[in-house]
Structure 1
Amino acid sequence: MKPRLRLILALGALLGMVGLLPAQNLVRNESFENAQGNRPRGWRTETWGGQADFSYPQPGRTGERSVGIASQAGADAAWATTVTVDPFARYRLSGWIKTEAVEPVQGGRGALLNIHGLEGAATPAVTGTRDWTRVEVEFDVDDQTQLQINCLFGGWGRARGRAWFDDIALEKLEQRQPPAPKIEVDASRIGEPLSPLVYGQFIEHLGRCIYGGIWAEMLEDRKFYYPITSNYAPYTALRNTQYPVVGASPWQIVGRPDGVEMTTNAPFVGRHTPLLRQGTGIRQNDLGVTAGKEYVGYAWLKHPENRSARARVTLRWGQAAADAQTVEIRVRRGDYQKYPFRFTAGLTTDQASLEIRAEEGDLLVGTISLMPADNIHGMRADTLALLRQLAAPIYRWPGGNFVSGYDWRDGIGDRDRRPPRTNPAWTGVEHNDFGLHEFIDFCRLVGAQPLVTVNTGFGDAHSAAALVEYCNGPADSHWGRQRARNGSPQPFGIRYWCVGNEMWGPWQLGYMSLDHYVLKQNWVVDKMREVDPTIFCIASGNAGPWSRGLLERCSDHMEAIAEHFYCQERSGLAAHVRQIPDNIRAKADFHRRMRSELPQLKGRDIRIAMTEWNYWYGPHVFGELGTRYFLKDALGIAAGLHEYARQSDLIHSAFYAQTVNVIGAIKTSRRNAAFETTGLVLMLYRHQFGELPVHTRTEGLIDAQAAWSLDRRRLTLGIVNPTLQAQVIPLQIHGAALKKRGMRWQIAGTDPQLFNDPDEPLRVRIEQLPFDGSTDRIEVAPCSVTLVAWEAD
């Protein structure tokens, strides 16, 4: 044998031996032997539903330890760890599971291993009573660099019983090359029109969405829901943030601690009214003012014995004597009267204060208000300006979880006399300043249709029917007369109604089983239709057994069915972006399957109203649940709009949740407002994307969708590039004669974590760029949303 041949054969044998060696296990502490206190180092517990008991028992399958999960009533929970992986590779996840009387419930699977959030990356489930059983699954990753491994108990539902996990392994099997991008458009294959209602928005009485976002009132607890005491400690959550949550009176006593009494004798509004003894006052801090800007307000005041008195109201923006303006008020004899005041701030600060003091005589303060003078019907001018640019065609209100404990009657009548309440679903006070009439006024100001959600939690059919009559009944009907007395003789003519919110969720006030809820759904809709048979009713669905049950037993009591979804942050830009269209498609696939399986849907066209959709993750920067959005989230929202276009035959409407603050498209500070990155995408597509989707095929990681304008004189193409590299994408367009000129818009940046802040210069914006009208290739920036438009020839 020649020496060279011997060398080749030897190398081949060696390589073969290397191939037979076990791959490297990427899981640290895979057998749980390394302890950190009473748990394995590098592992954490997660609970998504029910109650789970986590254990760290001895012995394990190998060695001294394993991990365990048990539940009697049912749980969806896991021991979890995060591992670093190479993108564009194939992996094997494996491990050993032991079970004792494990039983899936509520759609759960049992005991298994999975990769969190990666569809298809789940092992077979182990149920019943089994000794140590090996399970495995192979899967591919795209651009993810981190994966969460779950030792999962339940899974897409819940499980009962007990399970143990040991010897978890994640092994890399194969490396792949990133796929090359390509776009092919057949403009002659036109789908159903994309409903303009997919650009809908959702506002809820949660956090700073209404109060602090849309509504211009600057004062917290202006109706004194919380008693004013000498123990000034107003903030009970998010204390060390810019927007802490008020959980006690935000009014600080100025002067003698015993100089303020909360009297329950004939209160102006609510349960009590503050009585200020002569020489005493109350002050609210942490107000935002801008130098040179005017602020207007008023107070309802009286002397407790109906005598005359004198009050002093001061807006202060600094410590010096000159850093304030004061208005003297002569309080006339008799009952409560409304006294206006006006200030011009001399400094820009978020530490201003408003103080009212009883100078001569005692003083009852019924309620007090302070707003920027440029408010529009009580709404923030800066927020409204952005909302008009957003141009959403429809708004959903008032909830959300809030609605299941909300009595709409609290939000009508004299605004200053409406009762303050505890927010039934979230934190803080519901002032009831923004009620039904204000919502209708808001919709008119931004040029949108209203959609009202009725309370099917603690509410009943009669209350829902009364609400429909108040909105749509003639002025000579019982509730129509009430509406006319409150300043609106003409009916509001509200067409769209949500029947409850997330009534499938046990967190919902008034939650009940599906068997009971279907009866309530039909009862409520029957009573609403007795008042107005023309209304469009949207049932409260959740893809799975709940939506199936509603479609089977309530299909004649709905025109559409609601679905919700939220996505969290995910490792890898493309994977993070892809969550949104994947969730939309999953909802659509479920309902397509229902159309083929359920005889009750024959001849019916019950479409999906995606009444809440968005990302939801990260710290609360803008108050209660006030998350911040990044450039990478904008890419996902654009890809979601593409998916709505692809599913246009099944999607009736979609409502981005929420509009302002919280998880909104617009964020406000005390003094300014700005578009989030996600809001920029919604605005761009609302104004520029086409209405007639056409067949669009893509390769690689990009997401793209084309659409004609309704008159077919303009073809638009949206492209999402979820990579950190610029891409020159081969492009083929069939079935259209296009002019070699057009327009191009771009939202882009080199950092997926770029964000906008209302108090800082914009980092992310819509750019209009030159475009040569090329139809054979297109170049897109890294981490970008690109929208191009050609004129038809």
Structure 2
Amino acid sequence: MKLQISNCKKAAVQDGMIGLFFEDINYAADGGLYAEMIENRSFSFVDCYGDVGDYYTKPAWGYGWNATKECGEGRMEYVTGSPISRVNPWYLRFTAQDAGQGFWNKAYDGIYLEKGKTYTVRFYARAAQYPEGDITVQVTKDGRICAQAEVSCIHAPEKTWQKWNLYEAVLEAGETIRNGRFTISLTKPGTVEFDLISMMPDDAVAGVFRKDLFDLLKGLHPGFLRFPGGCIIEGNTLENRYRWKESVGDIKDRRTNFNRWAVHLTSEENGWHTQYSHYNQTLGIGFYEYFLLCELIGAKPLPVLNVGLACQFQSYELVEMDEPEFQEFLQDAVDLIEFANGPADSTWGSVRAKMGHPEPFGLTMVGIGNEQWQTEKIDFFGRYQAFEKAIHAKYPEIKLIGSAGPDITSEHYDKAWEFYKKEVPARDNFCYAVDEHYYVKPDWFYAHTDFYDEYPRDVKVFSGEYASHPISGMNLPQANTLGGAL
């Protein structure tokens, strides 16, 4: 290989042309950018199974939680009956036979503490049968107490209803540790119910984003942020799709959803069940937080919407365009723009304002579908036209991003460009840019440095997803080569 480096600049790159794509894959949101340190905080996780056209889940309300054994083992029950939210109705009913018994959380491979930093723990608790005693919150490592706080429990008079109460404690790290254990215990025997147990570092940006990762994203100076992902927008099933309306409002009222990547690499050999089977989405980073993130890092928001299709690679499920249910997808698109840009007294603008942002977010672009393509059974072009008509009837200024399908080498790609080029002359706002995805070998990139030189400029190209794969397959660290990086 001959490498020639020059300081001679060629064509100028406009500001805003390079940006970020964010998807909750590889624990990028829960367990990653989202600063929440507790896993399955609302006792709502499910265990995921299945393959194309046949996905299902089993309850795993207690995933990530275990009883401590240092003072004997208390009883852990996952129940419902008086939930803090009907959206996530399950909660933990813990009974301690002796003082000091408690339970701990696996916390995305353990708790990380940095010496001198503080962390806020919040949880709902109900003293069901706990007439006296308090609650201890700890982070330990190999039996050492690294951070601890005592929480005074609210005890209602006997023969009255024991209410849910929100508790808060601040933990200060006495040392830096990895793989620590988060523990809650009772100081007396009794039964207490718990829900929405949270632990957040106090330096989390906006109380949401892990500071180190946020700083890295901001340091890239992105022009845009495409969210909330690719395939998770569609879901393995339509029930599993990303519904933006379920991702806004109070976090206790955001319905936990299993992640589309929880069934990644399932096969008959592994019983359609893998190490990722408990990968769930708390939606702690929802559409409000995505818009907020864009504002904080100086990027234009580019949300992508489901067009009534589950993942075309992983499912056969869809809503036909002539079915009444299809109107829900169109309405979600129009309502999203109102949520982002509408006045504070509008229906969805008021939701945004109540969450703390009365001013509009300034949304200018929306993606129609993730990685869709036209088939004999799926009229994606018709779906795009329906979304374009519904959105531009109320918001003609919104720029729409279309889909060219899953690659740039097949007839799907050629047909997509034919469709957009045919429609644009009649309505110049019909399609602002076409979203192209390509996962190819390094040689393809080397051979196609002039790929876009002869493209017409009336419809822009949006390279939404691309990667260099020296080796075919997934989860292959050995594929991270210098050749691929170049």
What TM-score, normalized to structure 1? Answer: 0.47
The answer to whether the Cα contact below 8 Å between 1:456 and 1:499 also exists between their aligned partners in 2 is yes
Supply the AA of the counterpart residue of 1:218: M
Residue 254, structure 1, aligned to residue 71, structure 2: no
Cα 1:487/1:325, change in 2 over 3 Å: closer
Pairwise mapping of residues 409-424 of structure 1 onto structure 2 (< 5 A)? 409-424=245-260
Cα 1:184/1:412, change in 2 over 3 Å: closer
Which residue of 335, 352, 361 corresponds with 2:180? 352
For 2:472 and 2:164, the matched residues in 1 are separated by 44
Supply the AA of the counterpart residue of 1:250: G
Pairwise mapping of residues 329-368 of structure 1 onto structure 2 (< 5 A)? 329-333=152-156, 334-360=162-188, 361-368=190-197
In the alignment, what sits opposite 2:460? 607
Q: Can you give the 5+ residue segments of structure 1 that lack an aligned partner in the other structure? A: 1-142, 144-178, 228-233, 237-246, 505-510, 569-575, 596-603, 637-793
Cα 1:386/1:181, change in 2 over 3 Å: closer
In the alignment, what sits opposite 2:94? 276
For 1:513 and 1:585, the matched residues in 2 are separated by 33
For 1:387 and 1:329, the matched residues in 2 are separated by 40
In the alignment, what sits opposite 2:438? 565
Offset from partner CA, 1:591-632 (integer Å, 9 cap, x none):
73xx5xxxxxxxx810101111233567999xx788984544
For 2:343 and 2:179, the matched residues in 1 are separated by 49
1:409: how far off?
0.9
How many residue pairs match? The answer is 409
For 2:308 and 2:92, the matched residues in 1 are separated by 34
In the alignment, what sits opposite 2:302? 451
Supply the AA of the counterpart residue of 2:390: K
For 1:180 and 1:489, the matched residues in 2 are separated by 52
Residue 474, structure 1, aligned to residue 343, structure 2: yes
For 1:353 and 1:633, the matched residues in 2 are separated by 38
In the alignment, what sits opposite 2:357? 488
Pairwise mapping of residues 237-316 of structure 1 onto structure 2 (< 5 A)? 249-255=63-69, 259-269=75-85, 270-279=88-97, 280-285=101-106, 286-304=110-128, 310-316=134-140
1:209: how far off?
1.6
Residue 524, structure 1, aligned to residue 387, structure 2: yes
The answer to whether the Cα contact below 8 Å between 1:302 and 1:336 also exists between their aligned partners in 2 is yes
Offset from partner CA, 1:503-535 (integer Å, 9 cap, x none):
12xxxxxx9658611111011121122332111
For 1:305 and 1:513, the matched residues in 2 are separated by 62
Cα 1:446/1:627, change in 2 over 3 Å: farther
Computed over aligned residues only, the root mean square deviation of the Cα atoms, in angstroms, reads 3.4
The answer to whether the Cα contact below 8 Å between 1:301 and 1:338 also exists between their aligned partners in 2 is yes
For 1:368 and 1:182, the matched residues in 2 are separated by 54
For 2:384 and 2:48, the matched residues in 1 are separated by 39
For 1:306 and 1:417, the matched residues in 2 are separated by 27
Offset from partner CA, 1:549-586 (integer Å, 9 cap, x none):
53256534311111011234xxxxxxx4x543545644
For 1:475 and 1:582, the matched residues in 2 are separated by 51
Supply the AA of the counterpart residue of 1:558: C
In the alignment, what sits opposite 1:440? 291
The answer to whether the Cα contact below 8 Å between 2:402 and 2:435 also exists between their aligned partners in 1 is yes
Cα 1:551/1:584, change in 2 over 3 Å: farther
Which residue of 233, 249, 255 corresponds with 1:403? 233
Supply the AA of the counterpart residue of 1:368: I
The answer to whether the Cα contact below 8 Å between 1:620 and 1:626 also exists between their aligned partners in 2 is no
In the alignment, what sits opposite 2:367? 498
Offset from partner CA, 1:173-193 (integer Å, 9 cap, x none):
xxxxxx7969796x8xx75x5
The answer to whether the Cα contact below 8 Å between 2:469 and 2:484 also exists between their aligned partners in 1 is no
1:283: how far off?
0.4
Cα 1:488/1:326, change in 2 over 3 Å: closer
In the alignment, what sits opposite 2:43? 224
Pairwise mapping of residues 705-724 of structure 1 onto structure 2 (< 5 A)? none
1:265: how far off?
0.9
In the alignment, what sits opposite 2:28? 209
For 1:409 and 1:182, the matched residues in 2 are separated by 49
For 1:309 and 1:526, the matched residues in 2 are separated by 62
The answer to whether the Cα contact below 8 Å between 1:201 and 1:392 also exists between their aligned partners in 2 is yes
For 1:184 and 1:482, the matched residues in 2 are separated by 50
1:374: how far off?
1.6
Tell me the SS of whatever aligns to 2:379.
helix
Supply the AA of the counterpart residue of 2:258: T
The answer to whether the Cα contact below 8 Å between 1:616 and 1:627 also exists between their aligned partners in 2 is no
Cα 1:306/1:336, change in 2 over 3 Å: farther
Pairwise mapping of residues 761-776 of structure 1 onto structure 2 (< 5 A)? none
Offset from partner CA, 1:263-316 (integer Å, 9 cap, x none):
121323413111111345220132222333322221111123797762221111
Cα 1:581/1:181, change in 2 over 3 Å: closer
Supply the AA of the counterpart residue of 2:433: A
1:465: how far off?
1.3
1:371: how far off?
2.0
Cα 1:619/1:261, change in 2 over 3 Å: farther
Supply the AA of the counterpart residue of 1:541: A
Instruction: Decide which moves more: 201-210 or 278-287.
Output: 278-287
Offset from partner CA, 1:31-66 (integer Å, 9 cap, x none):
xxxxxxxxxxxxxxxxxxxxxxxxxxxxxxxxxxxx
Which residue of 431, 439, 459 corresponds with 2:282? 431
Tell me the SS of whatever aligns to 1:365.
strand
Supply the AA of the counterpart residue of 2:350: R
1:222: how far off?
1.3
Supply the AA of the counterpart residue of 1:251: W
For 2:187 and 2:31, the matched residues in 1 are separated by 31
Cα 1:371/1:584, change in 2 over 3 Å: farther
The answer to whether the Cα contact below 8 Å between 1:336 and 1:366 also exists between their aligned partners in 2 is no
Cα 1:554/1:289, change in 2 over 3 Å: farther
Cα 1:358/1:561, change in 2 over 3 Å: same
Cα 1:181/1:253, change in 2 over 3 Å: closer
In the alignment, what sits opposite 2:148? 325
1:435: how far off?
0.7
Supply the AA of the counterpart residue of 2:251: R
Offset from partner CA, 1:722-767 (integer Å, 9 cap, x none):
xxxxxxxxxxxxxxxxxxxxxxxxxxxxxxxxxxxxxxxxxxxxxx
Cα 1:474/1:298, change in 2 over 3 Å: same
Identity of aligned residues (%): 23
Cα 1:513/1:489, change in 2 over 3 Å: farther
In the alignment, what sits opposite 1:156? none
Cα 1:200/1:254, change in 2 over 3 Å: same
What TM-score, normalized to structure 2? Answer: 0.74
Q: Higher strand fraction: Structure 1 or Structure 2? A: 1
* Larger Rg computed on CA atoms: 1
In the alignment, what sits opposite 1:541? 404
